Structure 1
Amino acid sequence: MPQVSFALPSLSYVCRPLLDSVLPSLPPTVPDLDVPPLLREHFILSGYRPLGLPWRCCVLSLLQIHNQTLTMWSLLLAALALLLRFTGFAFLRGGGLLGFRLEGPEGQGLSVDPTSLPLVLYFISAIADLSCSAAANVLHCRSEEMHYFLFFLHSVSAAVYQYGCALALSLYSVDAIWTQSMLGQLTLRSKFAIHRRICRLFPMGVAFLVIMGPFVRRLTIYRWSNGPALMLHFFQVVLFLLSTFFFCFPVPECFAPGHYDLAGNSHHVYHALRSLCTLVQQEALFHDFLWRRPALVRQMGEQHLLLTCISFFCPMVCCSMTALAMRSRARAELEKEQR
């Protein structure tokens, strides 16, 4: 007599069709010759995701080993760390939600705290830059047009981040003697003008070098033992210079093409150093913010601070319009090539 089993079907047997529909299997990586030249990196010979992946596969490639896995996770983890650290500082040391207060002069309503707005704008620009960079690296293999669009978007976020960085560092981290001097005013104005016209990553590094002048003076005339801010600024400058080196030079993969495809190439090192530089920079700004906040309104005036913060949106609009124009041009060029 045949035996009848009343055992429940295994969980894997029941869930496997659902998992296959929701989590499709990812195609294997391909060599550099199987992807368009636009998606190739010098001296990286393998580990590429094929062009034309569905959106779900692009996102799920976060769990796949390919030549951009380390880049994606370094950016995402840095953005998460930035968010958690800023949230903790805002409520533990910043007196509530930085930039705004729920109680106005009469005890009700919403009031603006101009002394903390530059720090809030810096955080928004930094988190946007890391997020856009991560999105570009995760999703750009969808199509060549999407590659152009995402990296144009990343260029916008990079330019906006540099403006937010310059704004916060100029107000919190540069001493008042430099800021009020003729050379300091000239540096600040020329720097802000540059940021309204550029939206590419490498010129952002050149603009960042302009900020180092005031820090060189501060590092030489103040005692480093007075607080951790000077040491943090020193580390952020070192990390920035190192990341710039790896951005410009394909080291070490140029010495052994194909050996650093999945880990250790210059693209991975650049993004890891850049992410760490942003975290150190935010920590230094926290110390400088607490140091300069009490006297900031008295030295600059509340109206001037608010107008300076409003200017933050000018490069965002200008760079966005430039990116849209460049995207239209890139789409026209791609359509021309396909004919």
Structure 2
Amino acid sequence: MELCRLQFRAGPVDLHKAEQQAKIRILSHHASGVVRPSLAVPHLSPLVHRLLPSLPPTVRDVDVPPLFRERFILGGYRPVGLSWRSYVLSLFQIHNETLNVWSHLLAAVCVLLRFMAFAGPEGQGFSLDVSSLPLVLYVFSAVTYLSCSAVAHLLQSHSEHAHYSLFFLDYVGVAVYQYGCALALCLYSSDAAWTQSMLGQIFLPAAALLAWFSCATCCYAKLHFRRPYPLHRKLCQVVPMGVAYLLDISPVAHRLVTYSWTNSTALPLHFLQVVLFLLSAFFFSCPVPERFAPGRYDIVGHGHQLFHILLSLCTLVQQEALFRDFLWRRPALVREFGEERLLLACASFPCLTLCCTITALAMRRRAQTQLMKEQR
């Protein structure tokens, strides 16, 4: 424990020093009769096996600074202050972030492979033009948020500054995905009645504003509140994203209520993705089941892992529904919306991405200034 405290005061350490500290800890556990299990995944290739033993074992929550702790998760934490290489290699180790990383990495790969199959020669006549550009942007937004989330959970234990920076990046990815969904659902999944309504007329500007606001409030909540987190920190994150989701899903909700599901193969998939999203939102908001058995679900089964898995499934189902809506709406899309309006809608996507990135960079600078003041 004392070595860990010294490590936190000294800042980042190189991998050699981490190895020596790990050996001391392991020897002390053997001396006391307690052997901590190895983190290395068994039966790996010889090359990976030679690399993994250099990484120190996981530690308890009391061995990491409060910023890196999660409620009711008592173990499985990676030591803070190791080299970047060690956290990259921890992709192949067992810790309390392993499933968070792999669930979104695998989902990103599945999104890309499914899109390549849909758009490839064996697909259904996909070609890159104005009418298909929103679908490409949607796939890009899905891969972006999944990748940013995986990177954030994989590398965030490097330092406090890295922790803030990487989760700000994660929030940018979420905002980009929110608007990518809004763009695709507005153009492919809406019907004429919804499109001509007042909500349909203001939908895209409102969706862009709410996506940016969600990014800004999540960044603010991450930086402003300290553990133990008050309830209004969670509200600061959940309420803007919830309002954004209610707006983004409105084209689908209108069709689910007014259309016969037997006339569209996409509508049952849309209903399923709504259910999956609501379940994922529940596990994001509530730390269950770990609340009822602290320490039991540290490695597998805690709420944030269930949130990741359900959200990944939601994305895959939503993508499949959008593919079917794309084939349904594409023939008349340019005639109904106009080529200029479609191009303008797609041009708003990089603008939203830029605004969110600037916001995250500004919050990252504030975090750096705040950390420097605390270290004095």
Bin of the TM-score, shorter chain as denominator length: 0.7 to 0.9
Q: Do the aligned residues in 2 keep the contact of 1:115 with 1:305 (CA within 8 Å)?
A: yes
Q: Do the aligned residues in 2 keep the contact of 1:52 with 1:143 (CA within 8 Å)?
A: yes
Query: Match of 1:222?
Result: 259
The alignment status of 1:242 with 2:279, answered yes or no, reads yes
Separation in structure 2 between the aligned mates of residue 252 and residue 171 of structure 1, nearest angstrom: 39
List runs of 5+ in structure 2 lacking aligned partners: 1-44, 219-236
Counting aligned pairs with the same residue, the percent is: 62
SS in 2 for 1:250: coil
Shift of 1:94: 5.0
Q: Do the aligned residues in 1 keep the contact of 2:182 with 2:249 (CA within 8 Å)?
A: no
Aligned residues: 310
Tell me which of 69, 74, 77 is aligned to 2:98.
69
Tell me which of 106, 109, 122 is aligned to 1:80.
109
Query: Match of 1:147?
Result: 163
Query: Match of 2:119?
Result: 90
Query: Match of 2:199?
Result: 183
State the one-letter code of the partner of 1:176.
A
Deviations 1:252-299 (A, max 9, x none): 111111111111110110000011101111000000000000000000
State the one-letter code of the partner of 2:372.
E
Query: Match of 1:324?
Result: 361
State the one-letter code of the partner of 2:94.
I
Q: Do the aligned residues in 2 keep the contact of 1:122 with 1:168 (CA within 8 Å)?
A: yes
Structure with the higher fraction of residues in helix conformation? 2
Separation in structure 2 between the aligned mates of residue 237 and residue 178 of structure 1, nearest angstrom: 19
The alignment status of 1:314 with 2:351, answered yes or no, reads yes
The alignment status of 1:45 with 2:45, answered yes or no, reads no
Comparing 130-139 with 193-202, greater Cα deviation is found at: 193-202
Tell me which of 34, 48, 66 is aligned to 2:63.
34
Query: Match of 1:265?
Result: 302
State the one-letter code of the partner of 1:78.
A
State the one-letter code of the partner of 2:168.
F
Q: Do the aligned residues in 1 keep the contact of 2:178 with 2:248 (CA within 8 Å)?
A: no
Comparing 201-210 with 165-174, greater Cα deviation is found at: 201-210
Alpha carbon RMSD of aligned pairs, Å? 1.9
The alignment status of 1:304 with 2:320, answered yes or no, reads no
Query: Are the structure 2 counterparts of residues 17 and 86 from structure 1 closer, same or farther at C-alpha, using a change threshold of 3 Å?
Result: closer
List runs of 5+ in structure 1 lacking aligned partners: 1-14, 100-112
Query: Are the structure 2 counterparts of residues 19 and 93 from structure 1 closer, same or farther at C-alpha, using a change threshold of 3 Å?
Result: closer
Shift of 1:185: 1.7
Q: TM-score, normalised by structure 2?
A: 0.79
SS in 2 for 1:147: helix
Separation in structure 1 between the aligned mates of residue 191 and residue 73 of structure 2, nearest angstrom: 45
Q: From the CA coordinates, give the structure whose radius of gyration is larger.
A: 1
Shift of 1:187: 3.8
Separation in structure 2 between the aligned mates of residue 18 and residue 318 of structure 1, nearest angstrom: 40
Deviations 1:51-94 (A, max 9, x none): 01212211111111111111111011101111100111011335
SS in 1 for 2:125: coil
Deviations 1:203-247 (A, max 9, x none): 334301223333232112222122320000000100110000000
Query: Match of 1:104?
Result: none
Query: Match of 2:130?
Result: 114
